[in-house]
Structure 1
Amino acid sequence: MAEPLIPSETLTSFHNFITSSNCKTILALLGAGLSSASGLPTFRGSGGYWRHYNSIDLATPDAFERDPGLVWQFYSYRRHMALAAKPNAGHQALAQLSHNDKINFLTITQNVDGLSQRANHNSQKLIELHGSLFCLKCTNFTCSYRDPANFNDPLTESLDASSLVHDKDNLEDLPFLSDDKLPHCPLCETGLLRPGVVWFGESLSWVNVDKTDEFMMRNHVDLMLVIGTSGLVWPAASYIDIVKNQGGKVAVFNIEKDDTDTESWQFIGDCSKTLPMALKPLIDQVNLSSEL
């Protein structure tokens, strides 16, 4: 893929700002566009189908209650794909920035694939707003079991992802899986386990929301990086507005240009290429090992 064409004046202006005394606190908001550069489907928009199922219809509590086997097959596929993917240079650049002790930095990721962690992002400076594919929790109301980092693949013999291809033209129904074929809680032994992600219709973790709010209240955010996301969904849009209203700057990293936004720096192209170029002055001196 060709290198993105970033106007020299845009890059120079951005570099001058991030190396100035006016840029001490940076907030990054990540979306699916960053992970798509690692080969992961976005499951939104035109890519919003897994086999012939609408992925959004599978990501709800009602769908899990109605057919937990189908939902688990979808999420087993996603877990398998995420484990097979590698963090890209964009993840790496942000991870390096998280270890720059001269910058007050926080990343809020809407992604659930764990790629930021695998790039060795500082865990104290990373909030998984929508949870994680690799967190498991019990659905039994009286059970508090939670496994924050389960990377077994497959979780059960019936959830082998090799047959769960991502093909929207495949109209073949998946086999019905009874509850005994699905992951069960090792603590209470009766409850089904579910993915520890935030489904449509569920509230975000107030712990994560509070951490984000506290960061924004305690600090004047000088720069917000909006990466691989449109920033139109709450709470993303509210964070961007807060930063702008406080006089902070915004830089957008996305595939398409927003012609209505004339105030932000816009880096158009593959995020895995534009991010390292844009953040180069802040990450050059940081030594960080990762899977890349």
Structure 2
Amino acid sequence: MNMTTANTARLLITCEDKPGIVQAVSSFLYHQGANITALDQYATEAQGGRYFMRVEFELDHLESRKETLLQMFGTNVAERYEMQWRLASVGELKKVGILVSKVDHALLELLWRHARGTLPCEITHVVSNHETLRNSVEQFGIPFTVINVTKENKVEAEAAIHDLMQGNDLLVLARYMQILSEDFVSKWPMQVINIHHSFLPAFVGANPYKQAHEKGVKLIGATAHYVTADLDQGPIIEQDVERVSHKYNVEELRELGQDVERNVLARAVRWHLEDRIIVDGNKTVVF
């Protein structure tokens, strides 16, 4: 645990908007001796909407006081405002597993950023349904396992993946070209992030760059979203686009699109790791 983060925590809150929430939260932290270093908030309406807050604070001896802090905040603040909330210690790095197939750009972007120290996590394992990327992954000193997936063994394969990835806080689909079953996804609620190689909800399904070329699009994009049982319909975390013209062929669209994909995915993963995302139904609030 880094000494600069050992006493840092983040509090994420969702509730009905009412007067006094900011005062109640900040006053509680003040009386615990905490120093608020960042506070972001959003309300869906001027009056009576949904309220969202992200607070980052410093508190001496956080680890030894954490359980008491959780209990007291729940009793004194959260119950009064009927909050959905969670507290995350910054010094406790989240564990991340990655699933990938044959295409490497999104995976390597994550591994490179992790090696550079800009993705605050522990990447525990990379699982693929192909051998193709073993050398690329193992060069980063990260375990690589192949679990073949077919129509006949899908249940067994997903069970093996689930067992191998247990203990992780997040799974990232870095162009993993398999559709996860509803049963698998239900075991990882809002803990799986996918990069979709188009600007959702356009061009859902296979070969979006061919679809885009056939439609003569002027923008291409990528979407990072949480995975739910509904294919490509989970809450969107981040999107981006690039302008193109009639001069681009399919390969040029794909090359440009892959640049967008890896940056969009990396941002989404980092925001999750930094506790910047609150899921609200099928939407996200990203601070």
TM-score normalised by L of structure 1: 0.33
Which of the pair has the greater relative contact order for Cα pairs under 8 Å at 6+ separation? 1
TM-score normalised over the length of structure 2: 0.34
